[in-house]
Structures are given as C-alpha cells and as structure tokens.
Amino acid sequence: MRVGVKDIAARLVVGLGLLLWQVPAALRRAIGAPRRLPIKLISMFWHFVTIVWVAIYLTVYVF
C-alpha cells in the first residue's frame, strides 16, 4: 500500500483541526474529567501522524 501526499495532508489537516477544536476549552481552563478523553484521543492521533512522518522520512531519505 502506498501512502500519497494527499493522504498525509488529510491526516495533518484533521489533526490540526482537532487540536484547534480544543484550544478554546483549554484557554477557558474548562478541561475537566469529561473533556479529558477527547484530548487523549487527539493526542494519540497526533502522535500517530508524527510516527508516520518519521517512517516516511526514514524510508525516503535514509534507506
């Protein structure tokens, strides 16, 4: 399976959108127990995107 630039860009846009969605709550300091799960899931997604970028970089430029 080949990952295209559009796939990567879509994941990046989704991740940034999710992070921006949580910014107002963070600025209001309104992140209580019910709001922690979405933040954890967004964080996991963002780290997944980072791992994909590192894997692509290593595959294309190093190996």
Q: What is the pLDDT of residue 21?
A: 84
Asked if residue 36 has pLDDT above 80, the reply is no
Q: What is the pLDDT of residue 30?
A: 66
What is the mean pLDDT of the segment spanning 33-53?
81
* pLDDT score of 63 more than 80: no
- The residue type of 51 is I
Nearest to 20 by CA among 39, 36, 48: 39
pTM of the model: 0.57
At residue 3, does pLDDT exceed 70?
A: no
The number of distinct structural domains making up the chain is 1
* Residue range of the domain that includes 21: 5-62
